[in-house]
Amino acid sequence: MKKDVIVIGGGFAGMVAALEAGEEGAKVVIIDRGSIGLGTNSALSNATFSSPTMHYAPEKYVRDTLKTGKEINRELLVRLMAKEASLGFSLLRSLDLELVELSDGYYVKSARPDLIPGITLVRALAGKIRKVSGIEVLTGLYVTEILRDGEKVYGVRGFDKTREEVSIYAPAVVLATGGAGAIFLRNDNQKNIMGQGYYLAAKTGLELWDMEFVQFYPLVIAQPGLPSLLLYPPYPQEARLINAAEENILKKHGLDDPNKAHVTERDRFSAILFQEGLKGPLYMDYRMVPTSRWKRHPLSLLTKIKFDFQREPFAVSPAAHFFMGGIRIDESGQTALPGLFACGEVAWGLHGANRMSGNALMECVVFGRIAGRSAARYALNCPTSLPDLKELSKGFSYDPSSSQGTQRKLQRRIREIAWRCTGVVRSEKGLREGLAEVKNLEIELKGIGPHTVHDRKLKQDLMGATFVLKAVLYASVSRKESRGSFIREDFPQQDDLNWRKNSCLTYDWEEDRFSVSYYPAG
Ligand SMILES: Cc1cc2nc3c(=O)[nH]c(=O)nc-3n(C[C@H](O)[C@H](O)[C@H](O)COP(=O)(O)OP(=O)(O)OC[C@H]3O[C@@H](n4cnc5c(N)ncnc54)[C@H](O)[C@@H]3O)c2cc1C
């Protein structure tokens, strides 16, 4: 198959990029290992956008974003986001989505109170994409390689549900594969969001920036047997956060209100819960919340889950939520590899050391448009001649013995190492232990031959997950300070004099190791 633009990832960023590239007249294919829209992290979102409004000046929005990012964001990208925000909202309004204005942004009104708002958002986009004749949708295709010929990209390669190896050619590829939250034991992401995009990009030789910065969300359901659903604010006044001895955790640490702590002290809030959680389970107690409140958002979202939240406290935990680090792009969404563009959570630069709430979806819509438009213009203006393709159609040999059980055990170990060594609070000792453990685990993983397509997907996921985990460990051990989402108990202060810098990881595939460089932030 040959196209002008290939978009990898059917989340919000990828769908916006595909629509924009289609608008520019490019022939587009959007690929997802699952489906487009549903099944992505975007579908799980609260559909809340932070942005300048009539009452929130662009300059204040820029300053707040930089302040939350502890001043290591790329300011030119933040300013571009503020400038182009309204164009993103025009796109959403054209899809008949109802945008409700807040003092500091907008949210998309959910089609029903018991439906996660992100579902309404992604359904509208996926519905529109399916009606555009120039955009082909390929679902169930797992991309394993971005093809490059010398200095340029010329397509992607992967495998589909029927074991078939698939190559698709195009002069421009947009990477919109999301983050890697699901490499952590506690996370609120879709279970397969394990950093494939970072892995794919690094395999082409690209650098990874600021990988130590992972955002943790303070309150996620951790009750065994229940989905790890994020507990959306506002939290009812009557809610109590307790430990097994029924001690009020917030009071104990001088935080009176979870809603306030969530907005003004989210990192400290997560760190407190992380450390309390290491001592024993934590519970949310909604028993005193009046019955009438359960019909309204956000408590209405819990009514679909088979658990009596009104009568029983349930286990909660902080959880990995969002990756601030990733792939460097310029103002046109272009990476350092000609023809490769990136947008959404996989891209780096906007959020610095921590992300302002609502800025991830803002990033998807603004930079999705930019990347889609730039990729289309690039492709339509410089058609690529294809290299010899015969060489590419090598098959994949499956192993006759099933590997799923072993791989699931390795997955569990990866997630435990990630949580224990690169959770909210980290130390040099823990990080070095983590690096040693991952090294051993990687050797075991490499020795596994997948039996089915499912096993192969899992192996691919785990290869990506171990790679990303190594990147987070390595970047974290190298930064000798605490900043934003990142707390080093052995370096508890933010050190602007020495560390107002961005980290840049390069991977040497022959030597099998990372090296890190630092650049002054800005
Ligand atoms: C519970 C939750 C609530 C949130 N709420 C908000 C909010 O209200 N406001 C806000 O600003 N942010 C929010 N966020 C963050 C925001 O939702 C995400 O950062 C954003 O949706 C990411 O979008 P994306 O398009 O980059 O990636 P995703 O939506 O994650 O989509 C990426 C897609 O790429 C696919 N993919 C990956 N690798 C491959 C491969 N190799 N081959 C084929 N397909 C592949 C994945 O399967 C996935 O479908 C929330 C996040 C979570 C988890």
Domain termination residue (choose one: 299, 321, 343): 321
Q: Give the three-state DSSP class for 502.
A: strand
Residues 50 and 157 in one domain: yes
41 CA distance to ligand 1 centroid (A)? 3
Alpha-carbon span 123 to 129, nearest angstrom: 10
Domain termination residue (choose one: 369, 384, 399): 384
Global confidence as pTM: 0.95
178 lines ligand 1 (CB under 6 A): yes
322 CA distance to ligand 1 centroid (A)? 9
Residues 123 and 41 in one domain: yes
Domains identified in the chain, total number: 2
Residue 470 lies in a domain: no
Q: Give the three-state DSSP class for 279.
A: helix
Residue 296 lies in a domain: yes
CATH number for 380: 3.50.50.60
Residues 85 and 197 in one domain: yes
142 lines ligand 1 (CB under 6 A): yes
Give residue 314's pLDDT.
Answer: 97
Q: How confident is the model at residue 387 (pLDDT cuts 50, 70, 90)?
A: low
Can you state the angle between helices 453-478 and 428-446, rounded to 10 degrees? Answer: 150
Residue 224 lies in a domain: yes
Alpha-carbon span 315 to 281, nearest angstrom: 7
Report yes or no: 2 and 8 within 8 Å, Cβ to Cβ.
Answer: no
- What is the DSSP secondary-structure string of 96-141? T--EEEETTEEEEPPSSTTS-HHHHHHHHHHHHHHH-TTEEEEES-
Tell me the best of 15, 40, 116, 348 to mutate to test the pocket of ligand 1, counting ligand atoms within 8 Å of each CB and taking the most.
40
Per DSSP bridges, beta strands 28-32 and 5-8 are parallel
11 lines ligand 1 (CB under 6 A): yes
Quick one: average pLDDT of 451-455?
Answer: 90
**What are the pLDDT digits (tens) for 268-313?**
899 999 999 989 999 999 999 999 999 888 899 898 899 999 999 9
326 CA distance to ligand 1 centroid (A)? 14
Length of the chain: 522
Could you tell me the residue range of the domain that residue 72 belongs to?
A: 5-213+322-384
195 lines ligand 1 (CB under 6 A): no
Minimum CA distance residue for ligand 1 atom 2? 45
Residues 193 and 256 in one domain: no
156 CA distance to ligand 1 centroid (A)? 21
196 lines ligand 1 (CB under 6 A): yes
Domain termination residue (choose one: 321, 339, 372): 321
Residue 442 lies in a domain: no
Helices and strands counted in the chain (H then E)? 14, 22
**What are the pLDDT digits (tens) for 409-442?**
999 999 999 999 999 999 999 999 999 999 999 9
129 CA distance to ligand 1 centroid (A)? 18
Alpha-carbon span 149 to 168, nearest angstrom: 14
Residue 447 lies in a domain: no
Residues 204 and 295 in one domain: no
Q: Give the three-state DSSP class for 424.
A: coil
184 lines ligand 1 (CB under 6 A): no
Residues 174 and 64 in one domain: yes
Tokens of 339: 């023809």
Phi, psi of 493 (to 5 degrees): -100, 150
Tell me the best of 361, 362, 369, 463 to mutate to test the pocket of ligand 1, counting ligand atoms within 8 Å of each CB and taking the most.
361
Residues 359 and 311 in one domain: no
